[in-house]
Structure 1
Amino acid sequence: MVQLLLSKPNSSGDCDGDNELGERWVSVLNQLGSVLWSLMTASGRSEARLWLCNTIGGIESITPSQQRDIFVKLLRTKPTQVGIATQLLQMIFTKRPHRAGGIVSKRSHVLERFFQGNSMRISEWFSNFANGAGLEHKKGAKALFQFAFVNRDICWEELEWRGKHGQSPAVVATKPHYLLDLDVHQTVENFIKHVPEFWSSTEFQESLKDGEIIEIDRKYFLDFFVRLMFKDDSKDVWDLVNEFLMEEPFSSLCHHLLIVLEEKEFSSFLELLPRNLKPRSEEGGVLSWLEIILSENVGSIDRVLLVNGVINHGRHLLRLLREEDIEEQRSEIEDIISKMCRILSDANTLSPLLRECLKEKKTREEVIKLLGIQSWVIQYLLSEECRKLEAWESLFSNNGIGFRRTNKYGLINEDSEPELGSGESTKRKKHKKKERRKKRRRNFDDDNDELLEYNSLNDFGAGVEAADGSSWLLSTDNYSASLTNADLPEHISKLCFSTWMKLASSYLA
């Protein structure tokens, strides 16, 4: 049976024996950490980096102004951070196109060069004339007609028509579908050469404000905005960036922006992050370990990546371990964990490991790494050994964890024990079960469809339970989440880590 080591360490005992066990324990954990790191980086560091980015994105203590400051400082770092700026602008163009369009409209005159000699851009923006079915002209077509009609005395002759003759303003005003005969490409080229007023006109600016113009050529406008940011240091662009960085969820910013950072820039980000993390009163939280490590030492990203992998992405590590081409590493890990199990058979608590940490005066960062690796060992053992209902029930009972059986969809299994140690008599359970059956029969008389839906959901859940194993509600989270057999190893390992962090905090204080 897997030992969860959840009991409080004894202050007394065989110190010499504990010292020997502790030394062996730390040695084997460090050995396992090296092999796990090799496994994580076998195909490069990108996946481990992605795991860490996702974990960082889950930090909830950072305020909108703090996340803005972090990313702005990163953007302002020398040399010019074109990669992250481009990725950020991509997000703005997608989620706030009208704000980017407002900035483009203020500089509408520069788009004269954007359209010059480019028939595809001209056609896409200026050829959207209505066909006379009650629809309005769209995009640049509307701006072109409105400007030409209002300023017909200076630019009407620049309109180029297909056919034998052109159309007068009066005719077009009453029959706007005649504009479908306009040679749009030549007309726009004429405006570029002879009507410079159009490119700064209110009509043209209005057509740009929704930001739809950006979709014609995103790369052009990305380069345009990057120049405004770093070469011109344009206030309105930086205001847009600042507003977006405060409005967008921190998790979204991490997911989209951190993945494009080079190693040096990522290190800079990790150095900025601790200055904006609020201290936690409870060190057992899933993310508090990250805050501690980042606040104490960011010199080694490798250690942060390793600790994050074993604590928050243990299931991914198990997946990597089961791939076909890592037979040597898998065998080595199995041998190390066998040694670990022999050590655990001699240790009933976490005391030897914590004593060793105290004796060596290890930093909190080192303690977190060791406890994190130990928690992954628990996840590995549970995933290997606990595959039957009886094994889980025995584990829960031996470690004082209350449990309820349920199906995958959170419907309580009526035939199961409602909670460990509830003491409900068999007679009482049968009586309640009989009452539930009577109630369902009454419901059937009142509403056949409702009962059919209920039974269908039960049957569907039972089918999933039979295929995937039973689901559980546990006292560890106040019975709030339904956990399948696949979820339990990760849940229990995080419970262990959280408990050990609390114990270590008091034991090493």
Structure 2
Amino acid sequence: MIDLFLSDPNQSDEAHDSDSINWRISLLKEMESVIWSGMLSGGRAEVRLWLCSSIAGVTCVAPRDQRELFGNLVRSRGQKCGLASHLLHLMFDKSPNKGGSILAHTSRMLQKFFQGNPNRVLQWFSYSSSGSGLEQGKGLKALSQFAFKNRDICWEELEWKGKHGQSPAMVATKPHYFLDLDIQRTVENFIQNVPEFWSSDEFVESVKDGDIFFIDRPFFVHYFINLMYKEDIGDVWQVIDEFLTEHPFSSLCQHLLITLDEQDLCYFLELLRKSLNRKVEFQHFDNVTDLFVVVLLNCGGTGSIDLMLLLNAVITQGRQLLRLLRDEEDPELQAKIGDTVSKISAIPSSGNSLTPIFKNTCKMTTVEAIKCLGLQSWVLYYRLSQECKTPESWESVFMNNQIGFRLSNKNALLDHDELLKEDCSGFDQSPSVRLKRNKKQKAKKKRRRKYDSDDCNDDELLDFDSTSLELDFLQNTRSWLLSTDGYTSAWSSICRNTYIGIACVGG
């Protein structure tokens, strides 16, 4: 929505009332204070989750860059914030074979892992039942294969449950006899007397897929942390780098960023900003993720996590912020928000060119101007969400904010693709914009039409239940084609949470 205020100024905009601008800025600062009061009353945890979610949505991070981002963070701050522990848990869940490849070269350690721990022994060297009877588990299979292959040095270490043992010749014809082993006593004998087993190909093969991690996850996490930081084993860091390169950036963010304290999260944002600074350019904002990247590039270097929390909340998480403030159930807070929004809305419009006014007239820095634009955009979002109950009220807000529009006989919920095909000659559009839209239209023809109902499933902002979504209701709902700066998009009040983002971020 912030894109509504980013256009170049018209000549009429340059003759502005400095008192009105100063009054607007004063009220926006007041709104900032009110928003912070509402966000902090329930703690900062949810607001931080919004920021982590926005970071996870960034799609322009190359695999090599994400490896360096998280790798630098783990190497420099892993032990302090527990990041390494969460990373290892994630790697054991998603790619256990990578950790298993390390155990394959340090399998002697597992000799101590099983020593004196009957529960671990029974979990790994056991058999399981299936439709065809009893089957050997991976540990028991490795032990039986090694024992038969090396029967001359270890057969007497096998302990049997029956009155007498089984000979190699008998087991060769009936391998299921290995299921009669006394697992606990046999493994104890192998720990004490058969060291060759623990470095054998059979045992290494049984652990390299990483399934053994599920026996005692905390033990292996602690073991790997020692390998990383105390012994600084290069092979361990290599598999971690491989995992950080191959695993999706969004998943890494969702699982790891929530573990960071605010100081480390600020440090990560700075690393991310530097990574993106030399490669990201946007002419139009196609979604809120692009907008977040632009905000990060301009404001992420201030070293203030509070600023990024606020900007992310008002610019990219408007719906969640509105819900959070509603959930406070504080009449004084609600009245203060409504009163401040009303005062800001009553100020005569300066057009869609607040950026040069803030920066040139008020001598604001880029960061300060973006913050004011973000707060102003959320004020508009609040008005659209709270005050607009009729088609006429929507159009009034459009006109007051200089958003070009015309009515459409299509309904955006049913005919979104058709809306984009309608003739938009009534708007002032440049050839490059028309060309870009035509390319999008051709691409959409090739795709199967569908509508993602999740985008409109917001109980907080929609005032009707699911039974209201009937065809006759939809057909009687007004739809518009909106244009800001010559960039056009379909929009409908039914699905305002979907299309408001599109119309106000550039289409």
**TM-score normalised by L of structure 2:** 0.80
The match for 1:400 is 404
What amino acid does structure 2 have at the position aligned with 1:339? Answer: K
SS in 2 for 1:361: coil
The match for 1:313 is 317
Tell whether 2:462 aligns with 1:463: no
The match for 1:190 is 189
Tell whether 2:387 aligns with 1:388: no
Larger radius of gyration: 1
Q: Deviations over 1:239-294 (max 9, x none)?
A: 11111111122222111111101122112112212211124253755134323334
* Pairing of 1:60-71 with structure 2 (within 5 A): 60-71=59-70
Change (3 A) 1:213 1:479: farther
Change (3 A) 1:480 1:462: farther
Q: Distance in 2 between matches of 1:468 and 1:288?
A: 38
Q: Deviations over 1:276-326 (max 9, x none)?
A: 11242537551343233345x332110111011001000011111222532
Change (3 A) 1:327 1:490: farther
The match for 2:232 is 233
Contact 2:77 2:83 (C-alpha < 8 Å) held by counterparts: no
What amino acid does structure 1 have at the position aligned with 2:470? Answer: G
The match for 1:155 is 154
What amino acid does structure 2 have at the position aligned with 1:300? Answer: S
Q: Distance in 2 between matches of 1:465 and 1:412?
A: 20
The match for 2:265 is 266
Q: 2:357 aligns with which of 346, 351, 355?
A: 355
Q: 1:377 aligns with which of 371, 376, 379?
A: 379
Moved more, 244-253 or 349-358: 349-358
Change (3 A) 1:113 1:409: farther
Moved more, 34-43 or 485-494: 485-494
SS in 2 for 1:401: strand
Q: Deviations over 1:405-440 (max 9, x none)?
A: 3264547899xx967788xxxxxxxxxxxxxxxxxx
Contact 1:407 1:471 (C-alpha < 8 Å) held by counterparts: no
The match for 1:92 is 91
The match for 2:459 is none
Q: Distance in 2 between matches of 1:378 and 1:468?
A: 27
Change (3 A) 1:489 1:23: farther
The match for 1:505 is none
Contact 1:378 1:493 (C-alpha < 8 Å) held by counterparts: no
Q: Distance in 2 between matches of 1:241 and 1:74?
A: 12
**C-alpha deviation, 1:112, in angstroms:** 0.8
The match for 2:9 is 9
Moved more, 28-37 or 245-254: 245-254
Q: Distance in 1 between matches of 2:166 and 2:160?
A: 8
Contact 2:89 2:221 (C-alpha < 8 Å) held by counterparts: yes
Contact 1:98 1:210 (C-alpha < 8 Å) held by counterparts: yes
Contact 1:473 1:480 (C-alpha < 8 Å) held by counterparts: no
The match for 2:496 is 488
Give the alignment's Cα RMSD to 1 decimal: 3.5
The match for 2:295 is 290
The match for 1:368 is 370
Moved more, 320-329 or 196-205: 320-329
Contact 2:227 2:233 (C-alpha < 8 Å) held by counterparts: yes
Contact 1:57 1:252 (C-alpha < 8 Å) held by counterparts: yes
**C-alpha deviation, 1:396, in angstroms:** 6.1
Q: Distance in 2 between matches of 1:169 and 1:10?
A: 95
What amino acid does structure 1 have at the position aligned with 2:220? Answer: F
What amino acid does structure 2 have at the position aligned with 1:463? Answer: E
The match for 2:454 is none
**C-alpha deviation, 1:148, in angstroms:** 0.7
Q: Deviations over 1:166-208 (max 9, x none)?
A: 1111111111222222110111011111111111111100001
The match for 1:280 is 281
**C-alpha deviation, 1:134, in angstroms:** 8.3
**C-alpha deviation, 1:159, in angstroms:** 0.8
The match for 1:214 is 213
What amino acid does structure 1 have at the position aligned with 2:283? Answer: E
Change (3 A) 1:116 1:464: farther
Q: Distance in 2 between matches of 1:133 and 1:14?
A: 84
The match for 2:254 is 255
The match for 1:142 is 141
Q: Distance in 1 between matches of 2:501 and 2:142?
A: 63
Tell whether 2:177 aligns with 1:178: yes
SS in 1 for 2:329: helix
Contact 2:38 2:325 (C-alpha < 8 Å) held by counterparts: yes
Change (3 A) 1:24 1:119: same
Q: Distance in 2 between matches of 1:355 and 1:396?
A: 21
Moved more, 154-163 or 75-84: 75-84
**C-alpha deviation, 1:471, in angstroms:** 8.6
SS in 1 for 2:283: coil
Change (3 A) 1:470 1:271: same
The match for 2:462 is none
Contact 2:405 2:480 (C-alpha < 8 Å) held by counterparts: no
The match for 2:433 is none
**C-alpha deviation, 1:144, in angstroms:** 0.6
**C-alpha deviation, 1:391, in angstroms:** 4.0
What amino acid does structure 2 have at the position aligned with 1:237? Answer: V
Unaligned runs of 5+ in 1: 423-458, 500-509
Contact 1:128 1:137 (C-alpha < 8 Å) held by counterparts: yes
Q: Distance in 1 between matches of 2:365 and 2:70?
A: 29
Over the matched positions of the two proteins, sequence identity in percent amounts to: 44
Contact 1:108 1:200 (C-alpha < 8 Å) held by counterparts: yes
**TM-score normalised by L of structure 1:** 0.79
Q: Distance in 1 between matches of 2:47 and 2:142?
A: 51
Q: Distance in 2 between matches of 1:247 and 1:128?
A: 35
Change (3 A) 1:13 1:64: closer
Aligned residues: 454
Q: Distance in 1 between matches of 2:498 and 2:132?
A: 62
Contact 2:355 2:369 (C-alpha < 8 Å) held by counterparts: no
What amino acid does structure 2 have at the position aligned with 1:371? Answer: L
What amino acid does structure 2 have at the position aligned with 1:311? Answer: I
Q: Distance in 2 between matches of 1:353 and 1:61?
A: 26
